[in-house]
């Protein structure tokens, strides 16, 4: 072994070994196994005909031009209804242990059916949505190709949407490059922020590839969180009082893009979010400089955003049920 | 000159000479002279922060996944208001002699300012929209690069949107390939439909590259058109009674995608639209077969749809005014 190769190997081992002890891991690019299904799901994701009005698509509230969110406290839905809770980002959502803030959907497929039938979101029903798709030859062909069935089913619709959503990981964030050994990928301030993020204890909940999404935690663990929002959290699913006000820990990936923050979307700045979290969850009052360092670190978590051509939707026909805004 | 070259030349001359006498001309691809301006305009076109609610963008009602329309009779706007008139397609709108159904905007730039400030559309104001953009570093830099000004102005916002919209032409429709000499590009039924389209007199108004968009005509020229829609048409702009119920002739390019039809969006099928037009505008009652032929022709007018990567919008900052759904 020549010296140059040996040094490089030591570098890799050191970096790899350092990586293994970090509470945060890099996100890896996703390789879709069924590209036809992904393309079908992408069309469905952008298609407002899955809503009663013909105006609202998955992308309306999980906007892939805006970090997979709508950047509003709670979403606007059918008939301009305001939703009960902040729309979480769809980016990296395949890494979540469950879907929705209260985890009531076990996976992306189960989640995808929720908004379609929610009167305050897309305001439709599963059977009506399928009826629309059945009349559109471009969809009929695509479903037949992917599922080799004669009739479209809602399970196929949500399966295809989930397959598309699984592609929406955001690798190559500056912080991931740093984790992989590129010391110059993030600033010294961000490095100090990451050290503090760990020492303060944020990584107790915000860890793993997604820096969150892998546990439920009480909002207001040390001090109570005050909100007008009525969401009960995990207790609405388990029926257990001990789970009241427990929510799925949100991912911090792309957090610079996913404002406003918390399940009620009440906080708009990362500085305030860090300040509140440290005090309410960890009982620590951070200094402005410390907050600034952590925010600098959080801004290194923005990875590669969705990168694909705007899908073209197959046109309706004379048989297609018409949109109903009322 | 060898025989082969000579025959090819005769073919070109015949085709070119035939083309010159046709009432319809092919659409040519658009070459943008200022790509940075187009990219900026594309972002603005997709950005819901140009609306009061932060929910509605240009693309909401002129959806580039759906033929540049929303496929609704009239659009859903701020606070779920229903608009007064059908949203015309943005595709090939640069070929229109003026913008809006009544032509009240002289060009795309003037048009782009309308919806932003319309209380039933984006519900914002020009100055508030500019205030939002001013706080977003990604936009500040882009405007400085394109316009070399320190302050963003609404004229720059609409100029950039118009520059993007100018790229939205749809060349290479099967009918264009036919016009350029490829006899196999459309079916015999479509060819018969085109012949009838001309002989019936449709080309009196639906002519040129866009098959429309280049004149104002009275809706219900021979027989009155019955509608609940209150739009007065060109007379609202000119103040002349003779212009009452005159509307800009809509383009027939991509008409298979731009349902429902007419300024009130009252008719959903191409068959009915052709039937009504022939009777009301030309005083002719067409047979079902004739209508079918013309519809087959109309479906050959679907050209290359917008083909670009979903834009990524620069994030807001702590200084950015917040969206207001109320």
pLDDT of residue A149: 83
Secondary structure (DSSP) of A55-118: ---HHHHSBTTTTTB--SSS-B-GGGPBPSS-----TTGGGSSSBSTT--BSSHHHHHHHHHH-
In chain A, whose CA is at the least distance from the CA of B312?
A65
For position A17, what pLDDT does the model report?
A: 55
pLDDT digits (tens, 9 = 90+) for B58-75: 999 999 999 999 999 999
Q: Report the pLDDT value the prediction gives residue B12, as an integer from 0 to 100.
A: 47
What pLDDT was estimated at residue B7?
A: 46
- What residues does each domain of chain A span? 35-166, 174-301
Contact status, residue B50 vs residue A299, Cβ threshold 8 Å: no
Q: Residue A50: CB partners within 8 Å, gap ≥ 6?
A: A44, A57, A58, A116, A122, A124, A129, A132, A157
Q: What is the mean pLDDT of chain B?
A: 94
Active-site residue numbers of A? 121
| Integer CA distances (angstroms), A113 to A84, A110, A153, A162, A166, in order | 17, 6, 12, 10, 16
Give the pLDDT confidence score for residue B149 in this predicted structure: 83
Distance CA B164, CA B146 (A): 13
Size of interface A-B (CB pairs under 8 A): 94
Nearest to B309 among A256, A268, A308 (CB): A308
Domains A35-166 and A174-301 share a fold: yes
Mean pLDDT (chain A) is: 94
Which residues of chain B are within 8 Å of residue A274 when distances are taken between CB atoms? Answer: none
Is a pLDDT exceeding 50 seen at residue B254? yes
pLDDT at A326: 87
CATH superfamily, region A35-166:
Cytochrome c-like domain (1.10.760.10)
According to DSSP, the residues that pair with A309 across neighbouring strands are B309
pLDDT at site B236? 96
Q: How confident is the model at residue B150 (pLDDT cuts 50, 70, 90)?
A: confident
Q: A195 CA to chain B: closest CA distance, Å?
A: 25
What pLDDT shows up at residue A11? 45
Homologous superfamily (CATH) of A174-301 is Cytochrome c-like domain (1.10.760.10)
Cα of B97 to nearest chain A Cα, Å: 27
Task: Give the per-residue pLDDT at A8.
Answer: 47
Asked whether residue B1 carries a pLDDT value surpassing 60, the answer given is no
Give residue A27's pLDDT.
96
pLDDT beneath 70, residues of chain A: 1-20
Q: Rounded to whole angstroms, what are the CA distances from B76 to A252, B71, B81, B113?
A: 34, 11, 6, 18
Residue B290 has pLDDT above 70, yes or no: yes
Question: Helical H runs in A118-220?
Answer: 126-134, 137-147, 154-166, 174-179, 188-200
Nearest CA in chain B to A68: B312
User: Among B47, B66, B325, whose Cβ lies nearest the Cβ of A72?
Assistant: B325
Q: Which of A46, A53, A268 sits opposite B318 (nearest CB)?
A: A268
* Beta pairing class for B246-248 and B216-218: antiparallel
Interface test with B, best of A44, A65, A87 (most B CBs within 10 A): A65
């Amino acid at each position: 072994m020549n010296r140059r190769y040996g040094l490089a190997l030591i570098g890799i081992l050191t970096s790899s070994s350092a990586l293994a002890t970090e509470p945060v891991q890099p996100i890896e690019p996703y390789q879709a196994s069924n590209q036809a299904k992904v393309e079908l799901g992408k069309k469905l994701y952008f298609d407002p005909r899955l809503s009663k009005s013909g105006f609202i698509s998955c992308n309306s509230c999980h906007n892939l031009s805006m970090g997979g969110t709508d950047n509003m406290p709670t979403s606007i839905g059918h008939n301009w209804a305001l939703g009960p809770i902040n729309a979480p980002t769809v980016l990296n959502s395949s890494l979540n242990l469950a879907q929705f803030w209260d985890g009531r959907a076990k996976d992306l497929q189960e989640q995808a059916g929720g908004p379609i039938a929610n009167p305050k979101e897309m305001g439709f029903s599963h059977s009506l949505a399928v009826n629309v798709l059945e009349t559109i030859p471009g969809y009929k062909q695509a479903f037949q190709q992917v599922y080799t069935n004669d009739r479209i089913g809602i399970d196929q619709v949500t399966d295809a949407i989930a397959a598309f959503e699984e592609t929406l990981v955001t690798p190559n964030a500056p912080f991931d490059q740093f984790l992989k050994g590129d010391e110059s990928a993030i600033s010294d301030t961000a490095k100090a922020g990451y050290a503090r993020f760990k020492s303060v204890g944020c990584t107790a909940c915000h860890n793993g590839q997604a820096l969150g999404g892998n546990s439920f935690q009480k909002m207001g663990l040390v001090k109570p969180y005050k909100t007008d929002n009525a969401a009960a959290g995990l207790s609405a699913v388990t029926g257990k009082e001990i789970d009241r006000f427990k929510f799925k820990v949100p991912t911090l990936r792309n957090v610079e893009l996913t404002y406003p923050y918390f399940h009620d979307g009440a906080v708009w700045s990362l500085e305030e979010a860090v300040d509140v979290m440290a005090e309410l969850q960890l009982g620590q009052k951070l200094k402005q400089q410390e907050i600034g360092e952590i925010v600098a670190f959080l801004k290194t978590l923005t990875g590669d955003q969705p990168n694909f051509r705007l899908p073209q939707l197959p046109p309706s026909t004379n048989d297609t049920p018409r949109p109903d805004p009322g």
